[in-house]
Amino acid sequence: MTKIKNLIFDLDNTLYDFSKVWKISNKLVFEYLGYDKFTTYEEFFKLYKSVNNQLVKEVLKGSLKIIELRDKRLMLTLEQFGLTLTVEDCNFYYEKQFEYILESITPDEEVNLKIRQLQDKYNMIILTNGKSYEQRMKLKKLGLENIFKLYISGETHISKPKEKAFLNVLETEGILAVETMMIGDSLYHDIVPAKKLGLKTCLVEKQWHFDDELQAYSGYKVKNIKQFLDELETKML
175 and 115 in a common domain: yes
Do both 124 and 204 map to the same domain? yes
Q: Give pLDDT tens digits along the chain (237 positions).
A: 679 999 999 999 999 999 999 999 999 999 999 999 999 999 999 999 999 999 989 988 889 888 899 999 999 999 999 999 999 999 999 999 999 999 999 999 999 999 999 999 999 999 999 999 999 999 999 999 999 999 999 999 999 999 999 999 999 999 999 999 999 999 999 999 999 999 999 999 987 877 766 778 889 999 999 999 999 977 655
165: domain CATH number? 3.40.50.1000
Specify whether the CB–CB gap between 151 and 182 falls below 8 A.
Answer: no
Q: Are residues 79 and 138 in the same domain?
A: no
Q: Residue 94 and residue 216: Cα distance in Å, rounded?
A: 32
Domain stops at, among 76, 104, 132: 104
Instruction: Name the domain boundary from 77, 104, 131.
Output: 104
Domain boundary among 54, 88, 104: 104
Instruction: Examine the domain organization and report whether 97 and 149 are in the same domain.
Output: no
> Does 135 reside within a domain?
yes
Q: How many domains does the chain have?
A: 2
- Consecutive H or E run containing 16: none
Long-range interactions of 190-199: CB distance < 8 A, separation 24+: 190/10, 190/14, 190/160, 190/161, 191/217, 191/219, 192/161, 193/160, 193/161, 193/162, 193/163, 193/165, 193/166, 194/8, 194/166, 195/219, 196/163, 197/163, 197/166, 197/167, 197/170, 199/8, 199/166
Looking at the structure, do residues 184 and 132 belong to the same domain, yes or no? yes
Which residues span the domain enclosing 195?
Answer: 6-16+108-234
Note whether 60 and 115 are same-domain residues.
Answer: no
Are 112 and 176 part of one and the same domain? yes
The answer on 205 and 145 residing in a single domain is yes
77 and 192 inside one domain: no
**Which DSSP string corresponds to 129-164?**
-S-HHHHHHHHHHHT-TTSSEEEEHHHHS--TTSHH
Report pTM: 0.92
